[in-house]
């Protein structure tokens, strides 16, 4: 079979799934990377593993009805996509954001399977969420929404079945409310969610894990190219969980964080953000739930309605907000601003065309399924802590996280070709994850 034949086969499999645009772009990316692996392995063709991987095990879709503070009835859509449990219980976050559609969750659940495979932990892939918008809602409204969401979700999850966690719009507060409702309905306190508040069985270090992991991965990319993080100018987008802790570790490693953002605009710190500014902003974002445009900033410059990519010079970029926030022109602007290394803290923040620009300009690119895998890996440590009825220290969790990130970097190198003189981490991550999934699918039989 030729590569073209393999790719042709893949396209007909994709057509059968009839994916939406986001899922389609995630599938196309992987299909291109793994076509030669499928071509060279008759067993993957015979077992039709790629076709089987494209269709989730099941999609659960439900109505969420709740009462707002004025006594009005509100109705939202809720989902859980259980994509694959071949490597372990379905595992992946819940996203609450008005932009959430089934397509968003399909792409996230699919990416999660590859990411979770790379972690080397026994976890399958899933994702869920709702088009509920937590912004501007009171704590009581968020609590009633979470309780209503769990009223349906509880029957589908379990510590060895499906273990949800946080994602955009779902942090410790939401996980606490969701888990509280699960405990009341089922009388189980079995750790069925991860990212829990510490008093409810959460793991020290889980809050920091995704952002820290992304910086560790970026540092490994730099080291492989005989560079270091020390003194580098690091542009970051987002100012949520992933972005804030990526900034924390980057500063700790001697880098200068030169930007952060939210959906209202970007803040630029031309001389680098100080630890005091970061501490102040973390409190402002996590506790006061404030917007960047209203942050006093302590000397930072605010640019309304702008992404950071063309605003400031940098060496490293860590997109940590949302999907497709780095488009073709943004990628060119990043390269023009001096960026030599991009690592995705968010899921699929760079479009396919943006990735092509990075490769054409010799910019190293670390894909989300590798670079942001530290969050879910650490979630798996939380599952172990809960299952063994023990308490891990923060050091134990963070040391193990570092080991997992360095191992993922090695797996990428093992499977990656060179592209324009630079390691193609995107292809390396896709192939590394695919081979693990494909071999397990074959072992399971039909």
Question: Residues with catalytic annotation?
Answer: 127
In the complex, the smallest distance separating the C-beta of residue 347 from ligand NDP, rounded to whole angstroms, is 4
Tell me which of ligand NDP, ligand 2IT, none is bound by residue 168, counting a contact when its beta carbon lies within the kind-specific cut-off of 5 to 8 angstroms: ligand NDP
Residues of span 327-356 touching ligand 2IT by CB under 6 A: 347
x-or-dash pattern for ligand NDP, window 313-352, by CB under 6 A?
-------xxx----------------------xxx-----
Q: Which does 194 bind (CB under 5 to 8 A by kind): ligand NDP, ligand 2IT, none?
A: ligand 2IT
- Burial of residue 29 (CB within 10 Å: 0-12, 13-18, 19+) is buried
Q: E strands of 118-229, at which residues? A: 125-130, 162-165
Of 269, 270, 211, 217, whose CA–CA distance to 238 is shortest?
211
d(CA 399, CA 205): 10
Nearest to 237 by CA among 314, 152, 179, 177: 314
User: Which of ligand 2IT, ligand NDP, none does residue 19 bind to, with CB < 5 to 8 Å depending on kind?
Assistant: none
CA angle 248, 354, 407 (to 5 degrees): 50
Nearer to ligand 2IT, 102 or 270 (CB): 102
Please, what is the minimum distance in Å from the beta carbon of residue 383 to ligand 2IT? 9
Say if CB 383 and CB 157 are below 8 A apart. Answer: no
Whether 214 and 372 have beta carbons less than 8 Å apart is answered as yes
Could you tell me the smallest distance in angstroms from the CB atom of residue 444 to ligand 2IT?
22
Query: CA 91: distance to chain centroid?
Result: 12
Q: 427 is in the binding site of which of ligand NDP, ligand 2IT, none (Cβ under 5 to 8 A by kind)?
A: none
Report yes or no: 352 and 115 within 8 Å, Cβ to Cβ.
no
In this structure, what token pair is assigned to residue 288? 């006061």
82: helix, strand or coil: strand
Q: Does residue 92 interact with ligand 2IT by CB under 6 A?
A: yes
Helix, strand or coil for residue 118? helix
CB of 8 to ligand 2IT, least distance (A): 32
User: Is 165 or 321 the residue whose CB approaches ligand 2IT more closely?
Assistant: 165
Backbone angles phi, psi at 83, to 5 degrees: -80, -55
Q: Does 93 bind ligand 2IT (CB under 6 A)?
A: yes
* Interface mask toward ligand NDP for 361-400; x: CB under 6 A: -----------x--x-------------------------
Least CB distance to ligand NDP at residue 35 (A): 26
Does 165 engage in binding with ligand 2IT (CB under 6 A)? yes
**Residue 176 is encoded by which pair of tokens?**
């606490």
Q: Which is nearer to ligand NDP, 224 or 293 (CB)?
A: 293
CB neighbours (10 Å) of residue 296?
9
Residues at the site binding ligand NDP, with contacts judged by CB under 6 A: 99, 166-169, 171, 210, 238-243, 262-264, 320-322, 345-347, 372, 375
């Amino acid at each position: 079979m030729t590569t073209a034949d393999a790719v042709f086969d893949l396209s007909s499999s994709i057509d059968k799934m009839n994916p939406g645009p986001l899922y389609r772009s995630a599938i196309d990316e992987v299909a291109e990377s793994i076509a030669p692996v499928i071509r060279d392995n008759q067993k993957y063709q015979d077992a039709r593993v790629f076709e089987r991987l494209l269709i989730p095990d099941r999609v659960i879709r439900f109505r969420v009805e709740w009462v707002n503070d004025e006594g009005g009835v509100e109705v939202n859509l809720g989902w859980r996509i259980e994509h694959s449990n071949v490597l372990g219980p379905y595992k992946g976050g819940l996203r609450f954001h008005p932009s959430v559609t089934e397509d968003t969750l399909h792409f996230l659940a699919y990416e999660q399977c590859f990411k979770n495979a790379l972690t080397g932990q026994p976890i399958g892939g899933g994702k869920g969420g709702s088009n509920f918008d937590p912004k501007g809602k009171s704590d009581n409204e968020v609590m009633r929404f979470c309780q209503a969401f769990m009223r349906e979700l509880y029957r589908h999850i379990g510590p060895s079945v499906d273990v949800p966690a946080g994602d955009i719009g779902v942090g410790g507060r939401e996980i606490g409310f969701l888990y509280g409702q699960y405990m009341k309905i089922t009388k189980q306190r079995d750790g069925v969610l991860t990212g829990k508040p510490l008093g409810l069985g959460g793991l020290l270090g889980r809050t920091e894990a995704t952002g820290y992991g992304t910086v560790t991965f970026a540092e490994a990319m730099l080291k492989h190219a005989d560079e270091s993080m020390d003194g580098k100018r690091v542009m970051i987008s987002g100012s949520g969980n992933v972005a804030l802790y990526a900034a924390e570790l980057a500063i700790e490693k001697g880098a200068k964080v030169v930007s952060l953002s939210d959906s209202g605009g970007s803040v630029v710190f031309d001389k680098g953000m100080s630890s005091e500014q970061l501490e102040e902003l973390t409190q402002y974002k996590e506790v006061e739930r404030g917007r960047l445009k209203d942050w006093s900033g302590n000397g930072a410059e605010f640019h309304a309605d702008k992404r950071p990519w063309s605003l400031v010079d940098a060496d490293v970029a860590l997109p940590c907000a949302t999907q497709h926030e780095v488009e073709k022109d943004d990628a060119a602007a990043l390269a023009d601003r001096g960026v030599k290394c991009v690592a995705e803290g968010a899921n699929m923040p760079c479009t396919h065309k943006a990735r092509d620009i990075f490769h054409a300009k010799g910019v190293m690119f670390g894909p989300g399924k590798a670079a942001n895998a530290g969050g879910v890996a650490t979630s798996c440590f939380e599952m172990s802590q809960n299952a063994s009825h023990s308490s891990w220290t923060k050091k134990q969790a963070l040391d193990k996280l570092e080991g997992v990130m360095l191992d993922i970097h090695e797996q990428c190198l093992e499977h990656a070709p060179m592209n324009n003189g630079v390691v193609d981490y995107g292809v390396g991550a896709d192939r590394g994850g695919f081979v693990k999934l494909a071999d397990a699918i074959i072992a399971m039989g039909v």
